[in-house]
Amino acid sequence: MALLVNLFNPELIILGGSLSATGDYIKLPIKNALNKFSLSLVNNDTRLAISQLGERAGIFGACLLVRDRLLAITS
């Protein structure tokens, strides 16, 4: 994850799926690892958040992909 932060410099990383059920128990170790293994210049701008969708994140994503593909075919 630190490598991806170094490459893409995201403003926000959202933890979803089964990871979101752990809440702050997973958020703190990941934040510590990001601080240790990523560049501080890049890391200062990155926030870490827990998804509100929880286990449903994958289902919502799949539904949106199907919707987008269906709309692309009809137009």
Q: What is the CATH number of the domain that holds 10?
A: 3.30.420.40
Once rounded to an integer, what is the mean pLDDT over residues 38-61?
86
Number of domains in the chain: 1
Range 54-61 contact pairs with CB under 8 angstroms and sequence separation of 24 or more: 54/16, 54/17, 54/20, 54/21, 55/17, 55/18, 55/20, 55/21, 57/16, 57/17, 57/20, 58/16, 58/17
Expressed as residue numbers, the domain containing 51 is 2-74
pLDDT in tens, 2-46: 999 999 999 999 888 777 788 888 889 999 999 999 998 888 889
